[in-house]
Every structure is written in structure tokens, then in C-alpha cells.
């Protein structure tokens, strides 16, 4: 498979009909993630004046059925030495650890310092079970490896504790203090004591926020963020992921460390820009800004935006690149947003996942496709052996899993060759009409679309098809109207996913939003005609096809349609 994301879809298709679909139902091996092997921490052994010595038991599959109270570990393979037993900067000896398997004791297969850090976290949380892939997946069994790859996202999402072990070291007290200040800022805001910040002064506050921004940017350079499978692990764990940063000095003050690590959650990092925006809207600080000789409201806005952007590189999957102005248009955004609130402001999760994976150093492009599939929990997967093109594999994957905008069209071609086209039933149109009524009320759809759908139904039934008509069982004497209507294929009406051939896969994904997204301001009728005309010109639908309505849960950004569908 070739990395060809700089080419347009047209560049990659000798003819539009050559794109073959190889979608397969996802076969997640349930027994793999419901009967995991674990490293179970046994009681540590200590000698006089020595660090503890740990032995972990590698459990057998089925020993802990359905278990979720475990620590799952995300780290970079080969990022540490398996023989490391000393922190070279602080000269503090590390504990020793061995693994017992089938009654035999051996050295760990994963790096010793990685396992020691994971054990320290587990002990701090009172948890005895750890899942770490190099130990808990049989690396000599290709089937076991593939089974775990297919459900790695589930292993991370279901765990009660998720940790990411970074290599970036905190080297001085100020770095430690400014990161601990993230938790302090959230705590102060939650207990409504924002006026405490006034005593710091606006100048000192802005200086500290700029330093925090630089620290977060430095952390984001860690190799952990370049590993493709880590992207999936971060996404699956979401804001529940805790990252651990090694501390290479002896702190004089601050939080209690976990072993030699400072721990902070991605959820706290994600919210820091929003938190400080709330602090800096305090009346006392606003007055200081007005009276300050050099700091202006624009300076404050730029500082907060930079801090938010730096935090999103680390926390990644939560706001998915949404700007702070989009998240806080009125200053009332809850620091504990619901998934619905997040969905309204975040960029397309598929697009953001694609961008994150693109920034990684993974050279196995079939792995990239699998990672995206896992992150999105797609029920249908593509057979990567059927594609020589990475872009076309992604296009088929996204379109086949209904994450792609569709249009309803009337066409004389009842069996078009274009693979992203399907027939529509009468029940599809009735449900669509009901949904359109709600969207129109929210300014998310055009009245013309509802008129077109209603007329199409009237042409078939000779009158209005209403919910009461279905409920009262009065459709031609059929006792089960929904089933009857679901089996009634509407002649010459199809739902089609029309691809903008002059765009790259990245451009396409970046222009898709959900129906309820803040950027979906509603599509005019001429937008649908533009998309349909593009489909006719590129042989995706037959000559004479006409637009009826947009279909599905996804839309094109209205401002982009005239750019990507007009050649």
C-alpha cells in the first residue's frame, strides 16, 4: 500500500468505475478482551536498606473473566533499556522486578523501567493487575497478536486506569510547579474562588501562562506522540488517560510523586485553556487589563489561544483541534462538557484521527487503516490487500461506514455502477421527512428538501403519508405497515455518496461535519444541485439525475461546496 495522500482522488482513479469495495464485517474476538492475561503484582519483598523487589505473575486467560479493574499501559517500544536499574540523574536505585510464568521465574520481556513505573502507579491506586502488550500478548503467536490488534481500543477504553509513560523529563522545580498549577487552577474555579487569582496580578499571570505553554509544547515533542498505535490508545482512553513524566531532580516542594513520576490527566490538560479563560474574565483581572500600560485584551486572547492549542496537541482526542473561541463563544461552557457538547465544536473525529495518524512515523500503511478503524469503532473494515492506494482504502472505509455525506437523487438509472449508491425504501423517505422537519426548525436543513421528499411520497401513495396512517394500520390493508414500507423500494430514488474528485482524501475529510456541528449552518438547495451536477459530470450518477435532499447524519461544510465540487 502506497502513501498517496498528496494526490487527488481523480489522480488515483484511471476511471471512476475502477474503485472496488472490499468491506468486511468487523470480527472483534470478544474472548480476547473479556478474558485478558494480566501481570498480577505479588507482595513486594524488601531487605534491610534495599528497594523493594517485585514479582509479577503472568495470569492465564480466563483467570479474570470480565475484569476491568486494571491498569493499561501505553508506551514506546524500545524506548528504554531492559537492563536499567538506576536513575542516572538522581542516583536513586530502582526496584527490581521479575515475572513468574508456569512456575518459572524470568526477566520481563518489556523494559524493566517501564514495568516499574506501571507497578508504582498501580500500587498508588490499590490495583494489582496490569495489562502491557509485550507481556500480556503472546508475541510468538501471530493469531494472538492479530486478535489483540483488532480489539486494542476496547482493552484501553474498558480499563479503569489508563496511563501513558512519557520519556520527557521534568528537570527543575518551576516546570513541576507550573504543571501542578493546572490542577490548582481547575480546583479554584470549581469552588468559586476565582478572586484568589487577582492577587497574582495580570502581568505575572500572563508570564506564567506563557511559560506553561512552552512547557506543554516541549512535552508534546516526546516520541510517545509520534507512535501511531499510541494515537489509538490516547483516543480510546480519552480524557481518562493519565500521563506520567519522569522527574530528574529532588523536588523541594509540590505534589507527591508516583515513584519518580509526576502524574496528570489528559482531561485536566485539555481544560486548562477554558479554565484560564474563565479566570481571566473575572472583573478584577479585567480591570487590571484595562489599566495596564502594555498588556491588552488582544494580548490576553492570544495568550489563552496559544495555551489552548498547546494543550490540545497533548490531550488530542477531546476537543480535536477546535479553537477556544468556538468552544467558548459566550463564556458559559461547562468544564465537564457532555459528549453532545463536545461533538458540536470538535472537528470531524475521522479527520482529526487522520491528521494525528499522518503525523506519526508508522511505515506500515495497512496498520494506519486498522488504527483508524479501531479509533472510530467501524463495524465494517476494508481488506487492505485489495488496495494499492492508502487514500482509496480510507475513502472506501469512511464511505462504507456511513461517515460520508449523501444525497437523495431521482435518476433513471436504477442500477448504477457507482459503488457508493443504494436504493431507498418508502420507510427511509418517511423517516427522512420526519428528521427534516426537526432540522428545519433548528436551521439545519432547507424547506425545499422536505417539499421534494413529500412530493416523492405523494407520487407513490397519492396523498400524504403520516405517522398516524402507519400507526392505524391503514396502508392497503397491511397489518405491519413499517415492514411493508421498509420492503417497498422507491423506483428511481437513490441515496448516493458523491465524491469530490478534485480533492485529496485529507481535504475531503476536513470538509465533513455532523448535522448538529456548530459549523453546519444549513445547506441551500443550490448546494445540493452543485453536488449532484458534479456527480453527473464525473459519471458517478447518470445524466438527468436531479437533487431531492441531503441524506444521513453528515453534511459538507456549506462554505466549501462551491470550492471542491466545481472544477
| pLDDT reading at 188 higher than 50 | yes
* Residue 76: all three cell numbers together: 514506546
- Of all residues in the chain, the percent with pLDDT exceeding 70 is 82
pLDDT at 206 over 80: yes
What average pLDDT score do residues 500-524 get? 87
27 in Cβ contact with 151 (< 8 Å): no
Closest CA to 188 of 319, 287, 335: 335
Percent of the chain surpassing pLDDT 90: 35
Q: What does the pLDDT read at residue 81?
A: 47
pLDDT in tens, 392-431: 889 989 998 999 999 999 988 766 666 788 888 888 888 8
Residues 385/388/394/400 CA torsion (nearest 10 deg): -60
Residue 83 pLDDT greater than 60, yes or no = no
In the chain, count of helices (H) and strands (E)? Answer: 23, 19
**pLDDT of amino acid 414:** 65
What's residue 488's pLDDT? 84
What is the residue extent of each domain of the chain? Answer: 32-165, 173-347, 405-564
Lowest-confidence segment of 79-88, 242-251, 394-403, 472-481 by average pLDDT: 79-88
Checking if the pLDDT of 82 tops 50, the result is no
Contact indicator for 541, 409 with CB cutoff of 8 Å: yes
Q: What is the mean pLDDT of residues 40-45?
A: 82
pLDDT classification of 475: cutoffs 50, 70, 90: low
Per DSSP, the three-state class of 8 is strand
Mean pLDDT of 348-377: 85
Q: Which residues of 425-454 are buried (b: 16+ CB within 10 A; e: fewer)?
A: bbbbbbebbebbeebbeeebbbebbbebbb
3-class SS at 97? strand
Q: Determine the Cα–Cα distance for residues 531 and 367; give it in Å rounded to an integer.
A: 33
347 neighbors 318 (Cβ within 8 angstroms): no
pLDDT band for position 446 (cuts 50, 70, 90):
confident
The stretch 75-85 carries a mean pLDDT of 59
Residue 93, pLDDT above cutoff 80: no
Sign of the C-alpha dihedral computed for residues 513, 518, 522 and 526 taken in this order: negative
For 495-528, the DSSP string reads: EE----TTSBHHHHHHTEEETT-TT-----HHHH
Considering only residues 288 and 194, tell me which one the structure prediction assigns the higher pLDDT.
Answer: 288
Which phi-psi region, left, alpha or beta, contains residue 229 (left: φ > 0; alpha: ψ -120 to 50)? alpha
Q: What pLDDT score was predicted for residue 85?
A: 47
The arithmetic mean of pLDDT across residues 11-28, rounded, is: 67
Highest mean pLDDT among 49-63, 105-119, 224-238, 283-297: 105-119
308 CB neighbour count, 10 Å cutoff: 24
CB 65 within 8 A of CB 34: yes
Residue range 72-81: mean pLDDT, rounded: 77
The pLDDT of residue 473 is: 42
pLDDT confidence tier of residue 476, bands split at 50, 70 and 90: low
Which of these ranges, 111-120, 126-135, 381-390, has the smallest mean pLDDT?
A: 381-390
Q: What share of the chain is helix, strand, coil (3-state, %, to 5)?
A: 45, 15, 40
* DSSP element (H, E) containing 130: strand 129-131
Radius of gyration of the chain (CA): 28
What is the pLDDT, as a whole number, of residue 275?
A: 83
What is the edge-to-edge ordering of all strands in the sheet holding 421-425? 421-425, 489-496, 406-410, 546-551
pLDDT of 47 > 60? The answer is no
Amino acid at each position: 500500500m502506497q502513501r498517496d495522500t498528496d494526490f487527488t482522488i481523480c489522480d488515483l482513479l484511471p476511471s471512476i468505475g475502477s474503485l472496488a469495495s472490499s468491506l468486511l464485517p468487523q470480527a472483534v474476538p470478544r474472548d480476547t478482551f473479556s478474558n485478558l492475561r494480566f501481570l498480577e503484582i505479588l507482595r513486594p519483598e524488601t531487605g534491610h536498606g534495599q528497594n523493594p523487589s517485585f514479582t509479577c505473575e503472568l495470569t492465564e486467560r480466563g483467570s479474570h473473566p470480565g475484569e476491568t479493574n486494571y491498569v493499561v499501559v501505553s508506551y514506546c517500544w524500545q524506548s528504554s533499556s531492559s537492563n536499567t536499574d538506576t536513575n542516572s540523574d538522581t542516583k536513586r536505585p530502582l526496584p527490581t522486578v521479575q515475572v513468574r510464568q508456569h512456575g518459572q521465574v524470568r526477566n520481563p520481556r518489556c523494559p524493566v523501567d517501564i514495568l516499574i513505573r506501571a507497578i508504582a502507579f498501580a500500587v498508588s491506586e490499590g490495583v494489582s493487575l496490569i495489562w502491557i502488550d509485550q507481556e500480556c500478548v503472546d508475541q510468538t503467536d501471530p493469531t494472538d497478536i492479530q486478535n489483540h490488534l483488532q480489539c486494542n481500543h476496547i482493552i484501553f477504553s474498558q480499563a479503569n486506569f489508563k496511563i501513558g509513560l512519557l520519556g520527557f523529563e521534568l528537570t527543575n522545580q518551576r516546570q513541576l510547579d507550573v504543571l501542578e498549577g493546572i490542577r490548582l487552577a481547575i480546583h479554584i474555579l470549581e469552588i468559586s474562588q476565582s478572586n484568589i487569582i487577582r492577587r497574582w496580578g495580570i502581568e505575572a499571570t500572563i508570564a506564567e501562562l506563557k511559560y506553561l505553554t512552552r512547557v506543554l509544547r516541549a512535552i508534546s515533542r516526546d516520541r510517545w506522540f509520534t507512535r501511531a498505535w499510541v494515537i489509538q490508545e490516547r483516543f480510546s482512553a480519552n480524557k481518562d488517560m493519565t500521563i506520567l513524566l519522569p522527574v530528574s531532580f529532588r523536588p523541594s516542594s509540590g505534589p507527591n510523586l508516583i515513584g519518580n513520576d509526576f502524574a496528570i490527566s489528559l482531561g485536566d490538560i485539555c481544560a486548562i485553556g477554558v479554565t484560564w479563560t474563565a479566570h481571566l474574565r473575572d472583573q478584577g483581572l479585567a480591570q487590571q487589563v484595562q489599566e495596564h500600560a502594555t498588556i491588552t485584551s488582544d494580548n490576553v486572547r492570544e495568550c489563552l489561544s496559544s495555551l489552548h492549542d498547546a494543550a490540545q496537541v497533548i490531550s488530542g482526542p477531546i476537543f480535536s483541534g477546535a479553537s477556544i473561541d468556538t468552544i467558548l463563544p459566550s463564556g458559559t461552557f461547562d468544564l465537564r462538557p457532555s459528549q453532545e457538547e463536545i461533538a458540536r465544536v470538535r472537528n470531524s473525529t475521522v479527520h482529526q484521527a487522520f491528521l494525528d495518524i499522518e503525523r506519526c512515523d508508522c511505515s506500515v500503511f495497512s496498520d494506519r487503516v486498522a488504527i483508524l478503524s479501531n479509533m472510530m469503532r467501524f463495524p465494517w473494515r476494508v481488506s487492505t490487500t485489495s488496495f494499492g492506494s492508502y487514500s482509496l482504502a480510507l475513502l472506501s472505509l469512511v464511505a462504507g461506514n456511513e461517515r460520508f455525506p449523501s444525497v437523495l437523487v431521482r435518476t433513471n438509472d436504477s442500477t448504477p455502477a457507482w459503488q457508493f449508491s443504494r436504493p431507498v425504501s418508502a420507510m427511509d423517505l418517511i423517516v427522512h421527512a420526519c428528521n427534516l422537519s426537526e432540522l428545519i426548525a433548528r436551521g439545519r436543513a432547507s424547506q425545499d428538501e422536505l417539499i421534494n421528499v413529500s412530493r416523492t411520497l405523494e407520487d407513490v401513495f397519492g396523498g400524504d403519508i403520516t405517522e398516524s396512517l402507519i400507526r392505524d394500520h391503514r396502508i392497503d390493508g397491511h397489518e405491519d405497515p413499517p415492514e411493508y414500507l421498509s420492503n417497498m423500494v422507491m423506483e428511481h430514488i437513490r441515496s448516493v455518496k458523491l465524491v469530490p474528485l478534485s480533492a485529496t482524501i485529507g481535504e475531503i475529510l476536513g470538509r465533513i461535519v455532523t448535522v448538529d456541528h456548530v459549523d453546519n449552518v444549513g445547506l441551500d438547495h443550490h448546494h445540493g444541485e452543485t453536488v449532484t451536477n458534479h456527480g453527473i459530470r464525473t459519471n458517478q450518477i447518470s445524466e438527468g439525475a436531479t437533487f431531492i435532499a441531503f441524506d444521513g447524519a453528515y453534511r459538507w461544510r456549506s462554505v466549501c461546496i462551491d470550492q471542491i465540487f466545481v472544477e
